[in-house]
């Protein structure tokens, strides 16, 4: 009788070990996938904030003697590569305000777009992505 009980224990241990060896890598992969997604989001937020800083600088220097706008320092947010990744994450009302302001001349809107976008980045970072 002890032989049967020992055999059943051995079989149970083998089955449990096999299942564990299959589940552990899958669980680790899930954790790693979440970590990588978080890293990408943190990098994206940094890219957006750097872009807003450059946009603010471009607006502040727009029209000054010696200022030569290029795509990199243009005051139009819609020309920025980082805008393409931020735009889909934004709340529709904020997006509409930014796009409406983008149609106005830079001297009449200076700093407004940057402030709107910075607040929206903070909202995405805290509320939507829970990074802070």
The pair of structure tokens assigned to 55 is 């946009």
How much is the mean pLDDT over the chain?
Answer: 83
φ and ψ of 73, to 5 deg = -120, 15
The more confidently predicted of residues 17 and 125 is: 125
Contacts with 125 (C-beta within 8 Å, 6 or more apart), sequence order: 45, 131, 132
The whole-number pLDDT of residue 126 equals 97
The whole-number pLDDT of residue 63 equals 63
CA 115 to CA 131: how far, in whole Å?
A: 20
| Three-state secondary structure string covering the chain | CHHHHHHHHHHHHHHHHHHHHHHHHHHHHHHHHHHHHHHHHHHHHHHHHHHHHHHHHHHHHCCCCCCCCCCCCCCCHHHCHHHHHHHHHCCHHHHHHHHHHHCCCHHHHCCHHHHHHHHHHHHHHHHHCCCC
Q: Where are the domains of the chain?
A: 38-128
CA 44 to CA 109: how far, in whole Å?
A: 26
60-91 pLDDT, tens digit per residue, is 877 665 555 554 456 789 889 999 999 999 99
CA 123 to CA 84: how far, in whole Å?
A: 18
Residue 106's pLDDT band (cuts 50, 70, 90)? confident
The whole-number pLDDT of residue 22 equals 65
């Amino acid at each position: 009788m002890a032989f049967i009980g020992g055999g059943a224990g051995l079989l149970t241990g083998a089955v449990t070990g096999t299942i564990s060896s299959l589940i552990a890598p899958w669980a680790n992969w899930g954790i790693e996938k979440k970590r990588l997604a978080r890293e990408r989001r943190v990098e994206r937020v940094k890219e957006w904030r750097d872009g807003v800083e450059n946009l603010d600088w471009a607006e502040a220097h727009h029209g000054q003697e010696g200022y030569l706008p290029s795509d990199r320092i243009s005051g139009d947010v819609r020309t920025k590569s980082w805008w393409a990744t931020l735009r889909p994450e934004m709340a529709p009302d904020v997006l509409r305000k930014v796009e409406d302001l983008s149609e106005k001349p830079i001297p009449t809107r200076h700093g407004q777009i940057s402030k709107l976008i910075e607040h929206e980045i903070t909202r995405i970072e805290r509320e939507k992505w829970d990074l802070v």
